[in-house]
Amino acid sequence: MSNIIHVPLGSRAYEVHVGPGLLARSGELVAPLLRRPRVAVVTDEAVGALHLDALRAGLAAADIEMTALTLPPGEATKCWAQLERVTEWLLAAQIERNDVVIALGGGVIGDLVGFSAAILRRGVRFVQIPTSLLAQVDSSVGGKTGINSAKGKNLIGAFHQPSLVLADIDLLATLKSRDFLAGYGEVVKYGMLGDAAFFDWLEGHAPDMAAGDTGARIHAVSRSVQMKADIVARDETEQGDRALLNLGHTFCHALEAATGYSDRLLHGEGVAIGCALAFELSARLGLCPQETPSRVRAHLRDMKMKVDLSDIKGDLPDAPSLLALMAQDKKVKDGRLHFILARDIGEAFVTSDVPPEAVLSVLEDALAAR
Ligand code: GLY
């Protein structure tokens, strides 16, 4: 059974389907978007080896022909060179203004291909088929597309909404446990930022979800996507509320930079640690109950996730250096650090009113506990 979530953005509105068996039904679901029965698919080597044949078969069931480009896996693919490669390939494949491009993969493929679709012939439509939990609940929805610069992650890009998102829950079965749990960092973030009842549900059901329970996975992905759709509908280009989606991300980006965007810390792992630190900071500033950070940490521990700075192997810079990395984050406006803090679980808010000394003391204590 699939759920369909509407992202109500006027002329840019679209649907996100969440459920099992969607790759097999991709032809029937994509066909209404097409003016001719032909699509271009971009994927990476790891995902392509697992799912490209199934996508080809699903499209062929509706007599849709596909041509595919397979890129190297990994964050390094989100670069100018691969953007040029994808875009020139789409031109060579004679993808026209009315055609549709499909991104089959995780966040890297979705961001890169979405950006290429945004600039190709001043914008062609694209479909996201996210294959990681992180991409299903976050990056495939909301239209943020782009690549990395040597000066930082996601600094080059465009808002370009997909025309359809197919989040096939069956594809999560091929994820490594570490990648699944990193994606879970973004799922639990939704409960923490805006839905205490969802957080309660996750405390009870997330272990089943991690163990493979399809019903739990459908519910968790659907609820996450619905929350993202609601926020994006209110604030498509992040002038206000959309920043709530960055709960935990200011700490996370500093930790990712400190660990060289390497395997030492996956993005979703950094989000989980960052959320725990954001609740700690909220409690110390007297904004949320003193026991809330412990509840957050207990759930993350229960899920066998990274929670503390001691869960990051190897050296970390000292607290002032981490604070300096936070100040380089692109959420800095007019030189002031913007934080997402919380009054309790499910009650996050955006503020620029955070004394740097308070952040420093949270970081110093977290480092001292390593
Ligand atoms: N990943 C945060 C956003 O889409 O706004």
Is 191 a residue whose pLDDT tops 90? yes
225 lines ligand 1 (CB under 6 A): no
**Residue of 274, 270, 288, 276 whose CA lies nearest to 342:** 288
365 Cβ contact partners less than 8 Å away, ≥ 6 residues apart:
none
Say which residue the tokens 């620029």 belong to.
352
Kindly state if the Cβ of 242 falls inside 6 Å of ligand 1: yes
Query: Closest residue (by CA) to atom 2 of ligand 1?
Result: 245
Q: For residue 77, give the 3-state DSSP assignment.
A: helix
Those residues whose C-beta lies under 8 Å from the C-beta of residue 256, and which sit 6 or more positions away, are 153, 265, 267, 270
Strands (E), 63-115: 65-71, 100-105
Q: Are 90 and 77 in contact (CB under 8 A)?
A: no
Distance of CA 370 from the midpoint of ligand 1 (Å): 30
Please, which pLDDT band fits residue 335 given cuts at 50, 70 and 90? low
Would 3-174 and 181-368 be classified into the same CATH topology? Answer: no
pLDDT for res 152: 84
Asked if residue 189 has its Cβ within 6 Å of ligand 1, the reply is no
44 lines ligand 1 (CB under 6 A): no
State whether CATH 3.40.50.1970 applies to domain 3-174: yes
Higher pLDDT, 261 or 255: 255
Q: Return phi, psi of residue 166, to 5°.
A: -115, 105
Q: Which atom of ligand 1 is nearest to the CA of 246?
A: 2
Domain ranges of the chain: 3-174, 181-368
**What's the CA-to-centroid distance between 242 and ligand 1, angstroms?**
7
Question: Residues 107-120: what's their mean pLDDT?
Answer: 98
In tens, the pLDDT along 296-333 reads: 999 999 999 999 999 999 999 999 999 999 887 655 56
Give the chain's radius of gyration (CA, Å).
20
Confidence bin at 334 (pLDDT 50/70/90): low
CA 37 to centroid of ligand 1, rounded, Å: 32
pLDDT value at 40 more than 60: yes
User: What is the separation, in whole angstroms, between the first and last Cα of the chain?
Assistant: 45
Binned at pLDDT 50, 70 and 90, residue 206 comes out as very high
Task: Indicate the angle between helix axes 267-284 and 292-302, nearest 10 degrees.
Answer: 160
**Could you tell me the CA-to-CA distances from 274 to 34, 105, 135 in Å, in that order?**
42, 25, 19
Helix count and strand count (H, E) for the chain:
13, 11
Binding site membership of 144 for ligand 1 (Cβ less than 6 Å): yes
Q: Which fold has domain 181-368?
A: Dehydroquinate synthase-like, alpha domain (1.20.1090)
Confidence of residue 139 (pLDDT cuts 50, 70, 90): very high
Could you report the per-residue pLDDT of 48-64, keeping only the tens digit for each?
Answer: 999 999 999 999 999 99
Q: Which atom of ligand 1 is nearest to the CA of 141?
A: 4
pTM above 0.85, yes or no: yes
Choosing from 136, 139, 153, 187 the residue with most ligand 1 atoms within 8 A of its CB, the one to mutate for a pocket test is: 139
CA separation for the pair 298, 302 (Å, rounded): 6
- Which atom of ligand 1 is nearest the CA belonging to 242? 5
Name residues whose C-beta falls within 8 Å of residue 50's C-beta, 6 or more positions apart in sequence: 131, 171, 174
Pocket residue to mutate for ligand 1, from 128, 144, 350, most atoms within 8 A of Cβ: 144
Question: Catalytic residue positions?
Answer: 122, 144, 186, 228, 238, 242, 246, 249, 253, 267
Report how far ligand 1's centroid is from the alpha carbon of 144 (Å): 7
Q: Mean pLDDT over residues 320-348, rounded?
A: 84
